[in-house]
Amino acid sequence: MKNMLKRNWIILFALLFSTPVWAQFSGIKIMVNPGHGGYDPVFDRYIAKTGFWESESNLTKGLYLRDLLEARGAEVIMSRTQNRAEDDLPLSQISAIANSNDVDYFQSIHSNGFQGTANRTSVFWEEKSNGQPDFPDAKRMAEILDDKLFEVNFTTSTANHGDLSYLGFNLGVLRSLQMPGSLTEGSFHDYIPESYRLLNLDYRKHESVAILRAMLQYFSLPPLSYGALAGLAKDKSKTVSYVYSGGKSNDRYKPINNLFARLYQGQNFIADYHGDFNNNGYFVFDSLEAGAYTLVVDYGTYKTDTLQINVNANKTTFKEIFATADNQKAPLVYSTFPTDNFFGLATYSSLEITFSQPMDANTTEAAFSIVPALDGNFEWKQGNQLLVFNPTEAFTPQTEYMVSINTQAQNSTGKNLEETFSFTLTSADSHDYPLITKTFPAQNDSITIFDAFDIYFNQEMIREEVEQAFTIDPPVTGVFSWANDQHFTFTPDSLSINTFYTVTISTDALNTFLVGLENNFQLHFKTYNRSDLNILDWYPKEGDAFISTLTSFYFRFDGILNTSTVITNLALVDEAGNDVGRDSYKLEERNGASVLRFDAEQPLKRGAKYTVTVFPGIEDVDALTLKDTLSITFMTDTLKYVSGSVIDDFETDTKWQNPGEGPATFNLDLDNSNFAISVLEKINGQKSAKINYVFTADSLGICQVLREEPLSLSFTDSSFFGLWVYGDYSFNTLELWYDSNALQNKSIVVDTLDYSGWKFVKIPTNLFDDNTILLHSIVIRQQPGAYPAGQIFIDDIQQDVITALDEEKTNPFVSDFILRQNYPNPFNPKTTIAYSLKENATVTLTVYNQLGQTVKVLVSERQLAGSHTVVWDASNLASGIYYYRLKAGKGFVKTKKLLLLK
């Protein structure tokens, strides 16, 4: 028993201390640089005869090496993962990427060329003018690499070189590395037999396996426990027509395309390999445990070969096979796409059948059947060895099809298929309906009357059907032009200014498989009144009362302002018409238009009337000007705030954390959302809390700023809790989250951020669940239609707030109450309606349609004096104009219009 325990402990220790394969490279950072990039024949090494691009081949090798390394826990930095011209980085930038990422090793992957008459493996290390390597470790790695690459590539020799003495120059990508690096030239791609081999993706990838083996050795990690078998099949009776001198002598023989190799261990089938049609005769089996195997290679018109082969761990056994012709063989089906019993085939797929021999098209097409029947046409490829069936209609979803080729199918010499070949497939659950992926204008955007519209589909469409399915309301004639079958432009003959339009593309818009859009698509947009610059929104609004004396003025335009025209075309005056100094101008670009904010130089006087004015001289960058002067008269707050007992003055507090730490944070761009103690704005002292937030979706966003240690608060009855908030006019809401005795994460909505600048926000403490709470989070909650990003400040969280009722003045603007314009407007499907009650009152807020019928009663109750907001969700209603009416107190009735656009 004791011995057994001991043995178990040993096993446990062995498990604990042996690194699993997936973590072998854990903590190691490697940069992989697939050489070149793009399709420039000069720089990206194009071989016209074979259609080979070095830029593509290097990328295949690099991406597969990345996958192999990452599967073993390495961190891999890729200099590129695509093959566009812009991916072809300057060499100095590639080494700078390696340096700034502080990688442990750098590997550049290339292939070479030399007049098409040589095929060697070379590995380069960076060499100083005295012949010494910059890094002895790079030379050591080059020695390992040249050995490993030679094992997998069909080259004549291998060597490693210092670049300067061998090439006569320093390789630019190695020159400025601050770590060891090597550049491999696995083989010569302009040597045509090798160029054909390099067209085989598995041949390329096997070079990546060789580099992996080298890296394991370089990093002193255990070698691969498995090996590989690779080879080339050739017909010795035929000599190739292209240059083969300079390579291995057997390159003279014609490689056999379309081979079908199967591997067995004893009687057990292990894997098969289908050769390509690229004149290389290559096959490979990787991830084989060491041991003896039987390889069976079949080829259409050659005798089948059977070979006994040993595979060693961490090695590639390489086999050349020379096949002998057998013209008596009957044709076979080697493979199909999809494979037999395939489930979930996309409903627009083509079918492929690969035969072992060139087939007679007529008899084979006649021998083809698909049940249930499907219209389509045939296409022959690869010298009539590959039959492609292209349906001209979609597969019916969730349907089993049987595809057969009966024995009437003949090869090119008239031999019939020996037995009927069939395979079955099941189509996908539903069509991959065509989608509209992009539009100009974007949904609910505004455009000029001179703009054309662009619609992009993700699939090829039938142009006439799409044009038939296209309508615009109000109707506009115009011209369609198609860039390709996935993108058209509609150029309207004329659009009206300041008009809402809806473009509809109905489900009759068909793709080339005759499948239409799943749902009608509607695009809503508005034309600008673009003969002028317009102010779309502003704060405060005409007639607003109780505006904070520390307010910030907010104007959103529909154009980008010419900054030099801004300051001189604004005015802020008091009731006597005296100019009030302005400062802190901030211009922000938002969706191609400007948001302007500025403050008064000094706090405004309490209970005073001010007028802020924007004059027509203000211009946008297109030199459009405001048509009319916008003048807003408002009244400031009458109340004087005397600080209560400050709980957090945000001068030195380091306990609040970034929103990324908030467990409830949701749909938030963490890179651009943060909490900081900031000197930019303040109420008292030098600093305040700043929260930047950017929501990543249209709704449900939460920005939770959590405090490491909650603030413990105790309230007396009937007291007030308060804080200073610098609003961003985003219309999101600000909440405080707290834990009380029994309840966790209770929230209290402090305010809607429907103002700009500092405002004191006061909450009766009886709104909290308990007299003792732990305040732990400041939360911004995204509201429907609100702007999804902003910046707020918070200062002096306090309790026992004293509000000196300095002298309560009446609001001179309204005899009763205020009903504000809904926001946003137009909207879909939610909008916010705000109103203010000067005194406690019975309120009804009702929405009507254009016929005057009641659609929804939003409020019907007695409410306290102050500001109120209601969110209306119109998701079950049709687009159109609606009205909302506020009745409050004795005789106040006000109606406003809102526009639902779906």
Partner 1 sequence: MKNICIVLLLTLSVNAQTITVGAIEQLTTEQQGQFFHPVAGPNGEVLFSGAGYVGLYLLEGPDHIKTLSEALGAGYEPTFSADGKNVYFKPYRYEGMRKLSSLVKKSISGDREKILIKDERHFTSAKRLPNGAVAVNRDTGLYVVDKSGPEPKNAIAPVSVFIEKGKIVLYKNGEKKTLTPLGDGFYLWPSISPDGTKLLFTKAGKGTFISNLEGAILVELGYANAPQWSPDGKWVVFMRDLDDGHQVLESDIFITSVDGKTTIAITETGDQKEVYPVWAADNEIIFGTEKGVIYKAILEK
- 590 touches partner 1 by CB under 8 A: no
Nearer Cβ to partner 1 (45/556): 45
In the complex, minimum distance from the CB of residue 91 to partner 1, in angstroms, rounded to a whole number? 5
Across 299-329, b (16+ Cβ under 10 Å) vs e yields bbbbeebeeebebeebbbbebebebeeeeeb
- Rounded distance between C-alpha atoms, residue 215 and residue 170, angstroms: 23
C-alpha 410/C-alpha 793 separation (Å) is: 81
By beta-carbon proximity to partner 1, the closer residue of 178 and 444 is: 178
Do you find a cis peptide bond into 441, omega within 30 degrees of 0?
Answer: yes
Q: In the sheet that 521-527 helps form, which strands lie side by side, from edge to edge?
A: 445-447, 521-527, 500-505, 470-473
Enter the DSSP assignment of 356.
S
Q: Is the peptide bond before 358 cis (omega within 30 degrees of 0)?
A: no
Kindly tell me which residue out of 21, 67, 96, 307 binds partner 1, with binding defined by CB under 8 A.
Answer: 96
E strands present in 659-788? 674-678, 688-694, 702-714, 720-728, 733-739, 746-752, 756-764, 772-781
* Residue with Cβ nearer partner 1 (188 or 299): 188
Strands 226-239 and 316-323: parallel
Q: Of 91-99, 243-251, 720-728, 817-825, which segment contacts partner 1 by CB under 8 A?
A: 91-99
Helix (H, G, I), strand (E, B) or coil at 196: helix
Told to check if 865 binds partner 1 by CB under 8 A, we report no
Minimal distance, residue 565 CB to partner 1, in Å: 20
Cis status of the peptide bond prior to 223, with omega within 30 of 0: no
Interface with partner 1 in residues 519-548 (CB under 8 A): none
C-alpha Rg value of the chain to the nearest Å: 37
Contact segment (CB under 8 A) with partner 1 among 80-88, 387-395, 441-449, 707-715 equals: 80-88
Provide, rounded to whole angstroms, the least separation between the CB of residue 669 and partner 1.
10
Nearer to partner 1, 43 or 456 (CB): 43
d(CA 646, CA 636): 25
131 binding partner 1? (CB under 8 A): no
Asked whether 511 and 505 are in contact (CB, 8 A), the reply is no
Among 56, 126, 194, 207, contact with partner 1 (rule: CB under 8 A): 126
Q: In angstroms, what is the minimal distance from the CB of 408 to partner 1?
A: 54
Per CB under 8 A, the list member of 53, 105, 538, 827 interacting with partner 1 is 105
CB closer to partner 1 out of 169 and 861: 169
Q: Is 190 in the site for partner 1 (CB under 8 A)?
A: no
| Closer by beta carbon to partner 1, 100 or else 741 | 100
What does each C-alpha distance from 95 to 65, 209, 810 come to in angstroms?
Answer: 19, 24, 71
27 binds partner 1 (CB under 8 A): yes
Pick between residue 140 and residue 463 the one whose CB is nearest to partner 1. Answer: 140
Taking Cα atoms as reference points, which of 123, 247, 246, 125 lies closest to residue 186?
123
Q: Which stretch binds partner 1 (CB under 8 A): 217-225, 357-365, 563-571, 865-873?
A: 217-225
Question: Distance between CA 719 and CA 402 in Å, rounded?
Answer: 79
Interface mask (CB under 8 A) for partner 1, residues 142-181, using x and -?
A: -------------------------x-xxxxx-xxxxx--
Q: What is the DSSP secondary structure assignment for residue 222, as one 8-state letter? A: P
Segment lying near partner 1 (by CB under 8 A), choices 16-24, 131-139, 270-278, 299-307: 131-139
In this chain, which of 67, 70, 89, 829 binds partner 1, going by CB under 8 A?
89
- Identity of the residue, 163 or 235, whose beta carbon is nearer to partner 1 in the bound complex: 163
Q: Rounded to the nearest whole angstrom, what is the least distance from the CB of residue 650 to partner 1 in the complex? A: 13
Q: Taking Cα atoms as reference points, which of 481, 470, 469, 476 lies closest to residue 493?
A: 476
Q: Give dist(CA 483, CA 475) in Å, integer.
A: 24
Answer for which of 91, 309, 462, 899 binds partner 1 (CB under 8 A) is 91
Name the nearest CA neighbour of 876 among 813, 844, 829: 829
Do 778 and 794 form a contact (C-beta atoms < 8 A)?
yes
> Is 708 a residue that touches partner 1 (CB under 8 A)?
no
218 touches partner 1 (CB under 8 A): yes
Q: Of these, 70, 104, 393, 532, which contacts partner 1 (CB under 8 A)?
A: 104
332 by Cβ neighbours in 10 Å (0-12 / 13-18 / 19+) ranks as: middle
Binding mask 657-696 for partner 1 (x = CB under 8 A): --------------xx-x-xxxx-----------------
Cβ closest to partner 1, residue 579 vs residue 671? 671
**Phi and psi at residue 524, to the nearest 5°:** -105, 135
Residue 73 in the binding site for partner 1 (CB under 8 A): no
Can residue 709 be called a binding residue for partner 1 (CB under 8 A)?
Answer: no
User: Which CB atom, from 99 or from 825, has the smaller least distance to partner 1?
Assistant: 99
Stretch that binds partner 1, among 84-92, 302-310, 626-634, 789-797 (CB under 8 A): 84-92
Residues that bind partner 1 (rule: CB under 8 A) add up to a total of: 52
Q: How far is the CB of 218 from partner 1 (least distance, A)?
A: 6
Residue 129 interacts with partner 1 (CB under 8 A): yes or no: yes
**Contact in structure between 645 and 798 (CB atoms under 8 Å):** yes
d(CA 728, CA 51) in angstroms, rounded, equals 58
The single residue among 39, 70, 73, 97 that binds partner 1, judged by CB under 8 A, is 97
Q: Choose between 97 and 449: whose C-beta lies nearer to partner 1.
A: 97
Residues in the chain: 902
Q: 3-state SS string over 101-154?
A: CCCCEEEEEEEECCCCCCCCEEEEECECCCCCECCHHHHHHHHHHHHHHHHHCC
564 binds partner 1 (CB under 8 A): no
The single residue among 7, 41, 71, 102 that binds partner 1, judged by CB under 8 A, is 102
Rank residues 95 and 828 by Cβ distance to partner 1 and give the closer one: 95
- Give the binding range for partner 1 (CB under 8 A) out of 92-100, 827-835, 853-861, 872-880: 92-100
Nearest to 771 by CA among 707, 830, 719, 694: 719
Exposure class string for 391-416: b at 16+ Cβ within 10 A, else e? beebbeeeeebebebbeebbbeeebb
| Residue (274 or 438) nearer to partner 1, CB | 438
With binding defined as CB under 8 A, does residue 100 bind partner 1? yes
**Contact window for partner 1 (CB under 8 A) among 93-101, 290-298, 523-531, 553-561:** 93-101
CB neighbours of residue 441 within 10 Å: 19
Among positions 87, 365, 393, 485, the unique one binding partner 1 when judged by CB under 8 A: 87
User: Residue 787: which region, alpha, beta or left (left: phi > 0; alpha: psi -120 to 50)?
Assistant: beta
The whole-angstrom separation of Cα 377 and Cα 381 is: 13
Minimum CB distance to partner 1, residue 97 (Å): 5
Q: Please tell me whether residue 184 binds partner 1 under the rule CB under 8 A.
A: no
Are the beta carbons of 69 and 76 closer than 8 angstroms?
yes
The answer to the question of residue 883 lying near partner 1 (CB under 8 A) is no
Contact string 32-71 vs partner 1 (x = CB under 8 A): ---xx------xx---------------------------
CB of 178 to partner 1, least distance (A): 4
Nearer to partner 1, 24 or 638 (CB): 24
Other beta carbons less than 10 A from residue 474's beta carbon: 10
Question: CB of 191 within 8 A of CB of 119?
Answer: yes
Name the site residues for partner 1 (rule: CB under 8 A). Answer: 27-28, 35-36, 43-44, 77, 86-94, 96-97, 99-102, 104-105, 110, 126, 128-129, 134-135, 137, 167, 169-173, 175-179, 218-220, 671-672, 674, 676-679
